[in-house]
Amino acid sequence: MSETRFTDQHEWVRVEGTAGTVGITRYATEQLGDVVYVELPKLGRSLIKGAEAAVVESVKAASEVYTPVGGVVTEVNEALNDDPAKVNADPEGEGWFFKLKLANAEELSTLMTTDQYADYVKGL
């Protein structure tokens, strides 16, 4: 069973067991506009919760992507190098940025649930 959690900076992490997949939310892509470039983290990189992990550039701006939880990067979405528009087309699916092995699953409790995030975005 997977569980998705969100940050107030519009990143998401979908957790299955001890693995997490990280990306940015649809709200984030709407604010950014058309994504033209994504800089992904290096495989094997160790990240602490809240650390800058990636960069996304759009026609409007460049923005850092912070990791919602700590862990070691196990996979990156190489498809984004050739087609960064996947981030806009399916930000919470095929537009994911990287996967990591969680360092501390308890960090998930500090993140918003899907319902909490929806309420948060309504207030923006």
Strands 71-76, 35-39: pairing is: unpaired
Residue 88: helix, strand or coil by DSSP?
Answer: helix
Determine the pLDDT at residue 2. 85
Determine the pLDDT at residue 1. 73
- Which has the closest alpha carbon to 97: 1, 6, 11? 11
Question: What is the C-alpha to C-alpha distance for residues 109 and 5, in angstroms, rounded to an integer?
Answer: 9
Rg (CA), the chain: 13
Q: What does each of the 124 residues of the chain score in pLDDT, given as a tens digit?
A: 789 999 999 999 999 999 999 999 999 999 999 999 999 999 999 999 999 999 999 999 999 999 999 999 999 999 999 999 999 999 999 999 999 999 999 999 999 999 999 999 999 9
CATH class of 3-104+113-122: mainly beta
